């Protein structure tokens, strides 16, 4: 669940429910998605949230590999109902528990203070018990280290360590029993909210420093531990609501941090934002990727093709090879029904505007993304390009295939294949200037939601228009504008409908491809300070919206229902530009 969906859609609804109900609703829902067969669930989560982290922030400690220093506190998921989902959300490690030998009879409801954004977790220790915990962990496909927090007597702790050896990568205990270290070869961490000086010589692998409510000295506690000579691992729990606080704790000497109530209020994207901030601080400048120029030329050729199509749609409309297939001139069609020609110009100009916009976005992704080794930019490019190539098959079902499209396809294909092969090694991840949950960030999240909805609408519209082009060709408002049924047009010239179907399906295919560009850019390219992303939206969107709306008024096809999707899309586009301007352009 990315921030744009959490803050923009789900959180307002969840706030109306009791805390434990909303928690379980979200956790069980995410876990259901995560366990969809054939890896559909994890792939969907990755597609929507893009949670991979850069190898530059990976680390190895206690013989364990951590893809990120950011973990999740067990306080967030006491019933383990969301563990299957959390393994897919970019955490470097997960805490499970607390776990007691026997389950608690009753579970308390957390107290949520929405004004100061604090959750008061139950003070009484509550656990689902060792058997249920093991049963849940048995179902989890582990992708990162799992630390199990154990509570109980010395004997119970020893018993549980033996039971969890198959599942745990480390243990967290709340009582000082150093003799337990000899019972496992896995690290044991001692949990405390008030570290004392004698912890400097602690035999444990490290400590888990607990953040108490209104603990203003939390950062100083980490600093003092290091000043006093503590060499073990320091893991903090809580006290983080925004990336800046995470960076401060890590700079103070913490090795790892666990998110708790801050994760609920800041949103599920907090982990990703911290990882991107860590990478940003490294000032890493990747080498330019060979092959990006081929990708850029691919976009340039599409833009040029769109400009030529725009020129034709404003002049002759019908090209010589169209007339050859129709065995009829454009003037003859005009004489028969002028609106058929105008309708054809309408389809061809909207296609032209879509191609110009798509070419601009392709060029921007190549220059600012692929060139700098960003894997998400390459994958966004590849998805849209491959769908675009396959779209050529959508407009030959009626028997008309113009050679100009084939020639254009043959020019683009080798350029794309060359770029694809030369950029196969792209693995870079994004960095971000975002540090705070300020107004700029919050508005940016809603702006992202607008662009995501815009991308989804383009994808859906492209699919629907392609299907219409391959089946009925027209919608009722089309026939009302032309003032003629399809049967009469077919009787006039049996090759006329295939040409119109070709135009309609071709536009649908192009809109689908561009929709995927907008969608993936909106899902994966939202890092604060990415000025080029905002300019891509602005410059890339203008040709498609201008051509798509202008031509309708130019030919008098102004039916409100027909244009309503375009008006909605334009509204989302303008809202997205306004809300994201400070996020992308004014970010320091």
> Which two three-digit tokens encode residue 539?
């410059």
Instruction: Give kind and range of the element (H or E) at residue 210.
Output: strand 206-210
Contacts of 372 (CB under 8 A, 6+ apart): 286, 288, 289, 428
When computed from its CA atoms, the radius of gyration of the chain, rounded to whole angstroms, is 29
pLDDT in tens, 420-443: 999 998 889 999 999 999 999 999
Residues 47, 51, 52, CA angle at the centre, nearest 5°? 110
Nearest CA-CA partner of 482 in 494, 474, 492, 490: 474
Helices (H), 76-212: 83-86, 130-138, 154-164
Q: Which residues of 6-17 are buried (b: 16+ CB within 10 A; e: fewer)?
A: bbbebbeebeee
Q: Does residue 1 have a pLDDT over 80? A: no
Tell me the C-alpha distance between 377 and 504, whole Å. 29
Mean pLDDT of 469-498: 94
Q: Does residue 212 have a pLDDT over 90? A: no
> Which two three-digit tokens encode residue 138?
């048995």
Instruction: Give kind and range of the element (H or E) at residue 17.
Output: none
Contact present, 109 and 132 (Cβ < 8 Å): no
Nearest CA-CA partner of 381 in 368, 392, 394, 370: 370
Q: Does residue 254 have a pLDDT over 60? A: yes
Domains defined along the chain, listed by start: 3-281 (3.20.20.70), 292-584 (no CATH)
pLDDT category of residue 588 using cuts at 50, 70 and 90 = low
Tell me the C-alpha distance between 431 and 374, whole Å. 10
Q: Does residue 120 have a pLDDT over 90? A: no
In this structure, the number of other CB atoms found within 10 A of the CB of residue 473 comes to: 20
3-state class (DSSP) for residue 500: helix
At 104 the pLDDT is 87
Instruction: Give kind and range of the element (H or E) at residue 72.
Output: strand 70-72
pLDDT in tens, 6-63: 898 888 888 888 888 888 898 899 999 999 988 899 999 999 988 889 999 999 999 9
Nearest CA-CA partner of 146 in 99, 114, 183: 99
Beta strands per DSSP E along 386-481: none
Burial label for 556, CB within 10 Å (0-12, 13-18, 19+), is exposed
Comparing 114-128, 329-343, 357-371, 399-413, which segment has the lowest mean pLDDT? Answer: 114-128
3-state class (DSSP) for residue 216: coil
* Averaged pLDDT score across all residues of the chain: 92
At 571 the pLDDT is 98
Residues 166, 170, 173, CA angle at the centre, nearest 5°? 115
Tell me the C-alpha distance between 482 and 504, whole Å. 15
pLDDT category of residue 313 using cuts at 50, 70 and 90 = very high
Comparing 66-70, 500-504, 573-577, which segment has the lowest mean pLDDT? Answer: 500-504
Contacts of 406 (CB under 8 A, 6+ apart): 392
Tell me the C-alpha distance between 147 and 139, whole Å. 16
Nearest CA-CA partner of 365 in 512, 514, 544, 506: 514
pLDDT in tens, 362-380: 999 999 999 999 999 999 9
Beta strands per DSSP E along 230-307: 233-237, 256-259
Greater pLDDT, 12 or 293: 293
At 397 the pLDDT is 67
Tell me the C-alpha distance between 345 and 309, whole Å. 10
| Residue 128 phi, psi (nearest 5) | -85, -5
Q: How many CA atoms lie within 13 A of 454 on its CB side?
A: 29
The pTM of this model reads 0.93
Mean pLDDT of 345-349: 96
Greater pLDDT, 405 or 318: 318
Tell me the C-alpha distance between 294 and 297, whole Å. 5
Q: Does residue 587 have a pLDDT over 70? A: no
Greater pLDDT, 288 or 2: 2
């Amino acid at each position: 669940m990315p921030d744009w969906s959490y803050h923009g859609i789900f959180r307002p609804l969840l706030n109306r429910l009791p805390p434990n109900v909303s928690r379980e609703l979200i956790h069980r829902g995410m876990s259901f998605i995560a366990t969809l067969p054939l890896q559909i669930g994890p792939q969907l989560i990755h597609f929507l949230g893009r949670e991979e982290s850069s190898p530059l922030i990976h680390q190895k400690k206690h013989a364990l590999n951590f893809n990120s220093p950011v973990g999740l506190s067990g306080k967030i998921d006491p019933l383990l109902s969301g563990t299957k989902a959390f393994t897919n959300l970019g955490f470097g490690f997960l805490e499970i528990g607390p776990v007691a030998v026997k389950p608690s009879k009753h579970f308390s409801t957390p107290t949520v203070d929405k004004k100061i954004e604090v959750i008061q977790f139950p003070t009484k220790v509550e656990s689902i018990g060792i058997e249920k915990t093991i049963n849940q962990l048995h179902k989890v496909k582990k992708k990162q280290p799992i630390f199990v927090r154990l509570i109980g007597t010395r004997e119970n702790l020893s018993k549980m360590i033996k039971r969890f050896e198959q599942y745990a990568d480390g243990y967290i205990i709340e009582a000082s029993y150093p003799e337990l270290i000899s019972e496992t070869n896995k690290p044991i961490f001692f949990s405390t909210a008030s570290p004392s000086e004698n912890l400097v010589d602690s035999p444990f692998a490290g400590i888990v420093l607990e953040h108490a409510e209104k603990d203003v000295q939390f950062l100083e506690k980490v600093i003092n531990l290091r000043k006093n000579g503590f060499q073990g691992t320091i893991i903090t729990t809580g006290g983080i609501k925004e990336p800046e606080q995470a960076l401060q704790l890590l700079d103070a000497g913490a090795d790892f941090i666990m998110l708790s109530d801050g994760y609920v209020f800041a949103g599920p994207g907090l982990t990703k934002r911290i990882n991107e901030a860590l990478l940003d601080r490294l000032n890493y400048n990747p080498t330019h990727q060979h092959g990006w120029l081929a990708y850029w030329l691919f976009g340039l050729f599409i833009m040029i093709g769109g400009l030529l199509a725009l020129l034709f749609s404003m002049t002759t409309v019908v090209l010589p090879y169209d007339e050859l297939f129709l065995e009829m001139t454009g003037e003859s069609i005009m004489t028969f029904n002028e609106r058929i020609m105008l309708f054809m110009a309408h389809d061809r100009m909207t296609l032209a505007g879509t191609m110009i916009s798509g070419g601009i976005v392709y060029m921007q992704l190549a220059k600012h993304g692929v060139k700098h080794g960003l894997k998400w930019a390459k994958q966004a490019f590849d998805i849209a390009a491959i769908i675009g190539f396959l779209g050529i098959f959508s407009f030959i079902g009626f028997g008309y295939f113009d050679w100009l499209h084939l020639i254009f396809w043959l020019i683009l294909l080798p350029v794309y294949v060359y770029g694809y092969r030369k950029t196969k090694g792209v693995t870079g991840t994004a960095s971000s200037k975002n540090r705070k949950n300020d107004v700029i960030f919050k508005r940016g999240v809603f702006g992202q939601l607008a662009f995501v909805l815009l991308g989804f609408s383009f994808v859906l519209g492209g699919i629907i228009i392609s299907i219409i082009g391959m089946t009925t060709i027209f919608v009722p408002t089309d026939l009302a504008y032309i003032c003629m049924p399809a049967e009469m047009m077919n009787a006039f010239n049996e090759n006329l409908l295939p040409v119109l179907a070709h135009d309609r399906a071709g536009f649908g295919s192009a809109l689908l491809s561009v929709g995927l560009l907008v969608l993936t850019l909106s899902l994966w390219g939202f890092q604060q300070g990415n000025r080029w992303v905002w300019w891509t939206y602005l410059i890339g969107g203008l040709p498609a919206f201008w051509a798509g709306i202008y031509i309708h008024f130019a030919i008098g096809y102004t039916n409100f229902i027909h244009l309503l999707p375009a008006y909605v899309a334009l509204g989302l586009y303008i809202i997205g530009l306004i809300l994201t301007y400070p996020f992308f352009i004014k970010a320091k």
